[in-house]
Amino acid sequence: MILSKISQKNSKKEQKKKLKADPLGGLPLEDTMYYFGRESRRNLEGVHPELVIVAEAAIKRIDFKVIEGIRHIDRQRELVKEGKSWTMDSMHLVQPHDGYAHAIDFIPHPFKGWEDILSFAHVIMVFGEEAARLGVRLEFGGNWSKKDYPHIQLSR
Ligand SMILES: [Zn+2]
């Protein structure tokens, strides 16, 4: 009884040590693991599993919200009409060859505004590292000439 308690305690300590030893690529070391809220989880439904896996790895290291995943064609038409999107070839739309959306939009959490590029960049950096580690090729709207910082998609 006592022995099992002690070994439990030790394994918890070891887990903590492992977290601390994990290099976070210049970000402050955190013991905290973040996790997706209901809204983010819902917005990941219908998104390609490879992108979801990277997002799940990223959320353990940095807090953000998935504000959109799959987008229906009517909404995309509206967005283009309103000038908020410039293409009907959006990766948010269900891709006919596999039935998944290949893009998500995120905001950093806490959200300090759209002009807080640094917070977007931190999340993008973590996504980039986790994608490389997992062998998933991503494209970031933040790298486009027409900047779309919240946007992350699987490479075409
Ligand atoms: Zn997007």
Asked if residue 18 and residue 87 are part of one domain, the reply reads no
**Tokens standing for residue 114:** 């759209």
Residue 14 shares a structural domain with residue 80: no
Together in a domain, 18 and 36: no
102 or 5, which is more confident: 102
Identity of residue 100 = Y
CA of 27 to the centre of ligand 1 (A): 25
User: What pLDDT, on a 0 to 100 scale, did the predictor assign at position 101?
Assistant: 98
Cα–Cα distance for residue pair 5/122, rounded to 1 Å? 39
> Ligand 1 centre and the CA of 56: distance in Å?
18
How far is 87 from 42, CA to CA, in rounded Å?
Answer: 24
Higher pLDDT, 79 or 24: 79
C-alpha distance from residue 133 to each of 95, 138, 150 (Å): 25, 12, 21
Beta bridge partners of 101: 47
Query: Which has more pLDDT, 18 or 105?
Result: 105
In a shared domain, residues 4 and 36: no
Could you tell me if 73 and 149 lie in one domain?
Answer: yes
pLDDT at position 8 over 60 = no
Task: Tell me the mean pLDDT in the region 61-82.
Answer: 96
Tell me what pLDDT residue 1 has: 47
Residue 65 has pLDDT above 50, yes or no: yes
The pLDDT of 22-45, averaged and rounded, is 76
**Cα 135 to middle of ligand 1, angstroms:** 22
The arithmetic mean of pLDDT across residues 2-9, rounded, is: 51
Same domain as 51, residue 85: yes
Is 19 in the same domain as 38?
Answer: no
The angle that helices 117-134 and 49-59 make with each other, rounded to 10 degrees, is 120
Question: Cα(105) to centroid of ligand 1, in Å?
Answer: 5
Adjacent-strand bridge partners of 66: 106
> From ligand 1's centre to the CA of 7, what distance in Å?
47
**Residue 54 domain boundaries:** 32-154
- The verdict on 129 and 146 lying in the same domain is yes
pLDDT score of 33: 84
Do 21 and 65 belong to one domain?
A: no
pTM for the complete prediction?
Answer: 0.79
- Ligand 1 center from residue 50 Cα (angstroms): 16
Among 148, 144, 101, 79, residue whose Cα is nearest residue 120: 148
Number of domains in the chain: 2
Q: How sure is the predictor about 125, in pLDDT bands with cuts at 50, 70 and 90?
A: very high
